[in-house]
């Protein structure tokens, strides 16, 4: 029974944590809500960091989940710039802050997110080496791209994932020269496979991005703290002024691990293992957002999803579960990207090796199409490129697990809704 005497603590000030706090109040929880964030900025959304805000098309204030006064108005105790360094599960307390604050919790939500993976090579301590995860990173990188564009400077990006490609597009719009170094044969290989990865290679090449596939950075060369070049394991050297490490993110599990909570296998993406209610191995501790690895019956796998929609929906789901509501978190994974004149949305989960066929509906050459990934005639995922208002029918098709006629699936004149009936 939830009442005003209870205290719910949320660790992590990203979108998942902010939306969890919002949902607790919307659901009528009248107890104490404490939100502890190790950043000095109040909770914000991350997509603008590599999209609108980075490009200078969105103002800084637009990235925040709530206005400054929202937290006080809803009696949410927001502690910024504070790091939770220990959980005592037996005493049900968390420890945070330089002054050694201890707070007892009735329910605890871990929304600690992920952190950018670091390049383990010489030269990463140079001033011109960047990451993009936090608002402070985006603010710095925004200035760097503008400077490179003015001076015809050169940026090397390690990694052709979503962050790497979105920053490459932004850098080209600023006028900077860009080289992307990627060990796979195509961009986004581990998400889209080679069939659709090639489309993004062609898109960026058409906008002047140079790709160096099948290689990894081995050294960043500099002098007096300034980046001069990036070297790869096949002997190439790219003269440059700045380097962005965009080689993925690792879930921030140190706090959970120290507390003895069960973790997911690293082969499955790691993270904190939770059940379908986003509850950890401790029944009073939950996890949501990038750090949570949840079982998904639709795909018969444990998933850890590092995208905006998962934080947007996972935080509220965890909050309702903490309140004792009947929750099953089984949202179809969803994300979106904007690069140059290409906008896309992806629903589902179909990493290389999980599918046996890719079906295209529309005109891929004109970049106006929907791609579907299938396994034994069932749709696992769909990506719409410059085709809009189709996310709902794509997700219904995935959820239906129906065997589809691939000729009908490829025919734009056949309504998608008729295929999931």
122 and 236 fall within a common domain: yes
| Region of residue 12 (left: phi > 0; alpha: psi -120 to 50; beta: else) | left
186 and 296 fall within a common domain: no
- At residue 378, the pLDDT reads 96
- The verdict on residue 333 lying in a domain is no
End position of a domain, from candidates 260, 294, 322: 322
Helix (H) or strand (E) run with residue 221 in it: strand 217-223
- The verdict on residue 1 lying in a domain is no
- The verdict on residue 271 lying in a domain is yes
Mean pLDDT per 10-residue section of the chain, whose length is 421 residues: 83 97 97 97 95 94 96 97 96 90 96 96 97 96 96 96 97 98 96 92 97 98 95 97 97 97 91 98 98 94 94 98 96 96 96 93 96 97 97 96 95 92 61
- The verdict on residue 83 lying in a domain is yes
- At residue 1, the pLDDT reads 47
End position of a domain, from candidates 194, 221, 247: 247
- The verdict on residue 335 lying in a domain is no
Residues sharing a CB contact under 8 Å with residue 403, sequence separation 6 or more, in sequence order: 376, 377, 378
Handedness of CA 120, 126, 132, 135 (dihedral sign): positive
CATH of the domain at 296: 3.50.50.60
Q: How many domains does the chain have?
A: 3
299 and 402 fall within a common domain: no
For residue 62, how many C-alpha atoms fall within 13 Å in the half-sphere facing its CB?
A: 11
283 and 350 fall within a common domain: no
370 and 307 fall within a common domain: no
Alpha helices, DSSP H, located in 285-324: 308-322
125 and 238 fall within a common domain: yes
| Cβ atoms within 10 Å, residue 70 | 18
- The verdict on residue 328 lying in a domain is no
27 and 91 fall within a common domain: yes
CATH of the domain at 361: 3.30.390.30
| Segments forming the whole domain that contains residue 359 | 341-419
Task: Report d(CA 216, CA 231) in Å as an integer.
Answer: 8
Q: Say if CB 271 and CB 251 are below 8 A apart.
A: yes
- The verdict on residue 399 lying in a domain is yes
Query: Parallel, antiparallel, or unpaired for β 378-385 and 368-375?
Result: antiparallel
Q: What angle do CA 273, 278, 280 make, to 5 degrees?
A: 45
290 and 392 fall within a common domain: no
Query: Parallel, antiparallel, or unpaired for β 357-363 and 342-348?
Result: unpaired
Task: Report d(CA 205, CA 202) in Å as an integer.
Answer: 5
108 and 213 fall within a common domain: no
For 319-383, the DSSP string reads HHHHTT------PPPEEEEEETTEEEEEEE---TTS-SEEEEEEETTTTEEEEEEEETTEEEEEE
127 and 238 fall within a common domain: yes
* DSSP class of 43: P
Q: Say if CB 217 and CB 124 are below 8 A apart.
A: no
Number of residues assigned to the chain: 421
- At residue 268, the pLDDT reads 78
């Amino acid at each position: 029974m939830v009442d005003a005497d209870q205290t719910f603590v949320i660790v992590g000030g990203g979108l998942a944590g902010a939306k969890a706090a919002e949902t607790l109040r919307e659901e009528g929880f009248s107890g104490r809500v404490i939100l502890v964030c190790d950043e000095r900025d109040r909770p914000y959304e991350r997509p603008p960091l590599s999209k609108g805000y980075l490009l200078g098309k969105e103002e800084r204030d637009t990235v925040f989940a709530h206005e400054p006064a929202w937290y006080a108005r809803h009696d949410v105790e927001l502690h910024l710039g504070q790091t939770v360094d220990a959980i005592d599960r037996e005493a049900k307390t968390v420890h945070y802050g330089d002054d050694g604050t201890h707070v007892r919790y009735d329910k605890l939500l871990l929304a600690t997110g992920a952190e950018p993976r670091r390049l383990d090579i010489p030269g990463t301590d140079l001033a011109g080496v960047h990451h993009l995860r936090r608002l402070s990173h985006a603010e710095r990188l925004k200035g760097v791209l503008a400077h490179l564009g003015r001076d015809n400077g050169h940026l090397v990006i390690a990694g052709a994932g979503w962050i790497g490609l979105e920053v490459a597009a932004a850098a080209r719009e600023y006028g900077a020269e860009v080289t992307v170094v990627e060990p796979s044969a195509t961009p986004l290989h581990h998400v889209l496979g080679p069939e659709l990865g090639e489309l993004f290679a062609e898109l960026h090449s058409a906008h002047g991005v140079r790709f160096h596939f099948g290689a990894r950075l081995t050294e960043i060369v500099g002098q007096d703290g300034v980046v001069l070049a990036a070297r790869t394991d096949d002997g190439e050297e790219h003269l440059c002024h700045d380097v962005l490490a965009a080689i993925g993110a690792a879930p921030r599990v140190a706090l959970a691990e120290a507390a003895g909570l069960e973790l997911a296998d690293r082969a499955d993406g790691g993270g904190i293992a939770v059940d379908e209610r986003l509850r950890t191995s401790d029944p009073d501790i939950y996890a949501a957002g990038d750090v949570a690895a949840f079982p998904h019956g639709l795909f018969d796998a444990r998933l850890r999803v590092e995208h905006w929609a998962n934080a947007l929906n996972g935080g509220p789901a965890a909050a309702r579960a903490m309140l004792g509501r009947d929750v099953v978190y089984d949202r179809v994974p969803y994300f979106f990207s904007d690069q140059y004149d290409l906008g896309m949305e992806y629903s589902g989960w179909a990493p290389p090796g999980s599918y046996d066929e890719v079906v295209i509906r529309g005109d891929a050459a004109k970049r106006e199409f929907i791609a579907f990934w299938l396994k034994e005639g069932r749709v696992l995922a769909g990506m719409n490129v410059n085709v809009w208002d189709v996310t709902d029918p794509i997700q219904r098709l995935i959820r239906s697990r129906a065997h589809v006629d691939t000729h009908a699936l490829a025919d734009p004149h056949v309504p998608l809704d008729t295929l999931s009936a």
